[in-house]
Structure 1
Amino acid sequence: MLPPPVERALITLGEHLYIARKRRKQTLSSFADRMQVSVPTLRKMERGDPTVSISVYAMALWLIGRVQFLAEIANPVSDEMALLLELRNLSTQQKGTSR
């Protein structure tokens, strides 16, 4: 079972990809062919099914001209939580060495 925020994010991504396909007036069959997947797999992706491979999502993003955002999702430069943890560790280390 997925945590609710993960489940919601996949469902939202699937809905967004569905809308992108419809706005481009692509049928399920033609879009699936371009993605090199089956129509059932495309349907699953559009429903946010967690069993669909990330490569399927990546291909859909590429077809709608948005694949560049995939690489930025976990960019360490934007990882504020890791930065806060590093700063906390440095602060703790500094307190320990100043005695």
Structure 2
Amino acid sequence: MEPRRITNTFPDALRPIMHELGSDIAAARKVRKLTQQDMADRLNVGRTTVVRLEKGDPRVSFGTYAMAAWVMGLEQGLLSVFAQERDAGFQKAARHGLPKRVRHPSPESELGDLDF
């Protein structure tokens, strides 16, 4: 049986997103007046990998995408991708975890586990 390649199993819905990501990387590189070879040298990859990166090829490792962001000073944007405040699923779960009502603590609970 032939091994499954990521290009065969990659979801169609992600293809335009990856293409846009690659285009954004290419634009950021050009604004910084870096050639593809300059970028390749800084990423320690071949120029063809940079070409694939800028096309949004899913076979390029996430580490290479992250390094490209770092080379251009955009690495902080990577943190916001999975940030809890942007995650609707996390927000919903957090809301469901809230208590039904809030009560003032009893005087005994203010003392905690102090033994006198």
Q: TM-score, normalised by structure 2?
A: 0.68
Query: 2:54: which partner in 1?
Result: 46
Query: 1:61: which partner in 2?
Result: 69
What stretches of structure 2 of length at least 5 have no aligned partner? Answer: 1-8, 101-116
Q: Does 1:10 align with 2:18?
A: yes
Distance across 2 between alignment mates of 1:26 and 1:83 = 40
2:28 pairs, out of 17, 20, 42, with 20
Identity %: 32
1:34 pairs, out of 31, 42, 52, with 42
Distance across 2 between alignment mates of 1:77 and 1:25 = 34
Q: Over the residues paired in the alignment, what is the CA RMSD in angstroms?
A: 1.9
Distance across 2 between alignment mates of 1:34 and 1:62 = 10
More helix by share: 1
Please state how far the C-alpha of 1:73 moved relative to its aligned partner: 0.7
Q: List, as ranges, runs of 4+ consecutive aligned residues in structure 1 with deviation greater than 2 Å.
A: 1-5, 81-88
The aligned amino acid for 1:74 is F
Please state how far the C-alpha of 1:67 moved relative to its aligned partner: 0.3
What stretches of structure 1 of length at least 5 have no aligned partner? Answer: 95-99
The aligned amino acid for 2:50 is L
Please state how far the C-alpha of 1:23 moved relative to its aligned partner: 1.5
Helix, strand or coil for the counterpart of 2:63? Answer: helix
Distance across 2 between alignment mates of 1:19 and 1:74 = 23
Higher relative contact order (CA 8 A, sep 6+): 1
Query: 1:73: which partner in 2?
Result: 81
Please state how far the C-alpha of 1:20 moved relative to its aligned partner: 1.1
Query: 1:83: which partner in 2?
Result: 91
Please state how far the C-alpha of 1:85 moved relative to its aligned partner: 4.7
